[in-house]
Each structure stands twice: as C-alpha cells, then as structure tokens.
Amino acid sequence: MSKILNNQMRFTRMVSLLLDYADMLGYEITLGDAYRDARCPYGSENSFHHKRLAIDLNLFRNGVYLKNTLDHKPLGEFWEFIGGSWGGRWNDGNHYSLGENKKK
C-alpha cells in the first residue's frame, strides 16, 4: 500500500475521533471542504485538501454558527494531541490536516 493511501486512511480515522470528541463536548458539526480539486479557484496540487489529508469543519452550538478561530480551540488542541495540524495556529481555525504545520 502506498504512503499516501496509508496517510489518507489514518487521517480518516482521526477525523472520526475528532467528530466523536466534538459531539461529546456538545458541538454540532457540518462538513466544509474535504477534497478540493486543484482546478478550483482556490485549489492547488500542493493543497492538503487535494491530497485528501485536510478537512474544514463548520462548528455550531445550539444551532448558532461559531466562526471564530478560538471557537475551535478545544477541538484543535485535541486534533494536535492525536497527531494532526490545526489551522488555528495560523488563523484558519476550522482547518484540520495531517502533516501540514505552517505556524505563523
């Protein structure tokens, strides 16, 4: 099995853990960008979304959309704990990826 396929499978398992954790904390989640075609206006071949190693999550509590990076902090810290990179470290709070770490 290829390294990229192994990483995609690991990432998928991690996302399921993150969604379970969010539910445990009382958050509601809808999925944002997961796969992103490199031909879309904001896509690229180097995108972790294009590699199927990133997902954007829309976070809600009691039906209210939580759009601030800090709203994602409990989930972001859990994501980092299980081995991922959280976009909140570079002001993209709803971004969760595997292998990307561009701290600013």
Rounded to whole angstroms, the Cα distance separating 5 from 76 reads 24
Beta bridge partners of 64: 61
pLDDT of residue 35: 72
Q: Per-residue pLDDT tens, the chain, 104 aa: give them.
A: 799 899 999 999 999 999 999 999 999 999 998 776 666 655 556 778 878 899 999 999 999 999 999 999 999 999 999 999 999 999 899 999 997 665 44
| Alpha-carbon gap, residue 78 to 73, rounded angstroms | 8
Q: What is the pLDDT of residue 36?
A: 66
Length in residues, the chain: 104
Report d(CA 84, CA 13) in Å as an integer: 11
Beta-bridged to residue 28, according to DSSP, are: 60
Separation between Cα atoms, residue 17 and residue 50, nearest integer Å: 22
CATH architecture type of domain 3-97: 2-Layer Sandwich (3.30)
Cα-flanking dihedrals φ and ψ of residue 7, to 5°? -65, -40
What are the boundaries of each domain within the chain? 3-97
Is pTM, for the whole model, over 0.75? yes
* Predicted local distance difference test score (pLDDT) of residue 101: 61
